[in-house]
Amino acid sequence: MFMELEGKRCVVVGGGEVAGRKARKLLQSRARVKVVSPEVGPALESIAAEVLRRPYELGDLRGAALAFAATDVREVNAAVSREARELGVPVNVADLPEEGDFALPSTLRRGRLQVAVSTGGASPGLARRVRDELEGLFAPGWSGLVEELYAARKGGRGADERLEGKVRRCLSQLRG
C-alpha cells in the first residue's frame, strides 16, 4: 500500500514481533506510531511516538490514519477491526487478513524508489523471499538515479538525454 503517512498517527495494537514489523514499516514512512499493548519490547518502544502499556480499549483508534491489529488474541484483533470500521480507519488484521482492509507488501527501498511484492496476505514469507531476490537486481545506485529524476521533475523539466541514457542502462542491467 502506497500512502502518504508522514506525520500521521498510526495505531499498532500489539507488542510482539509482528507488531514490531508493522511499526518499523510505518516508521520508514515517517508516520507517528502509537502502540497499545500491556507488554512492549524495548525495540518497539524506542520507535514509537506514544506507548500505552495497557490492554486495547475502545477509543484507542480515534484520530488514526491507519490501524493495525497485531495481537495474538483473536477477540482483541476483532475488536480493533470493528472500531476501525466504525471510525472509517483502514485496518490491517495480522491473524485474519480478510477481516482487514489492506495487506502490506514486502517492500524494497532504494531512496525514493520502492518496489512492492504482495501475495494479498496469503503468504508474507513468500513475498519477503521474492523481495530478497529483487534486492540483488536493484543496486543502491538506483537511489541516486531516482533523485536525479525527481530533481528534474521538481525543477519543471523532464529527464534530459543524459538522464534518459542512465535510465536505459539501468533497465538493460535488469534484463540481464
Last residue of a domain, one of 104, 131, 156: 104
64 and 28 in one domain?
A: yes
> Does residue 167 lie in a domain region?
yes
Percentage, residues of the chain above pLDDT 70? 98
Whether residue 176 has pLDDT greater than 80: no
Stretch 143-168: mean pLDDT: 83
21 and 63 in one domain?
A: yes
Residue-wise pLDDT tens digits, 56-91: 999 999 999 999 999 999 999 999 999 999 999 999
Alpha carbon dihedral 42, 47, 48, 54, in 10-degree steps, equals: -10
| Cell representation of residue 98 | 480478510
95 and 111 in one domain?
A: no
15 and 100 in one domain?
A: yes
Last residue of a domain, one of 104, 126, 146: 104
SS3 59: coil
> Does residue 2 lie in a domain region?
no
Write down the pTM of the prediction. Answer: 0.79
Whether residue 27 has pLDDT greater than 80: yes
> Does residue 75 lie in a domain region?
yes
Number of domains in the chain: 2
C-alpha–C-alpha distance, residues 102 and 107, integer Å: 15
| Residues 100 and 82: beta-carbon distance below 8 Å | no
> Does residue 59 lie in a domain region?
yes
71 and 130 in one domain?
A: no
Supply the range of the domain harboring residue 127.
107-175
Last residue of a domain, one of 78, 104, 130: 104
User: Residue 131 is which amino acid?
Assistant: R
91 and 115 in one domain?
A: no
Average pLDDT, the chain: 91
Residue-wise pLDDT tens digits, 159-173: 678 888 888 888 888
> Does residue 92 lie in a domain region?
yes
| Residues 38 and 15: beta-carbon distance below 8 Å | yes
CATH code of residue 66? 3.40.50.720
Highest mean pLDDT pick, 32-36, 109-113, 128-132: 32-36
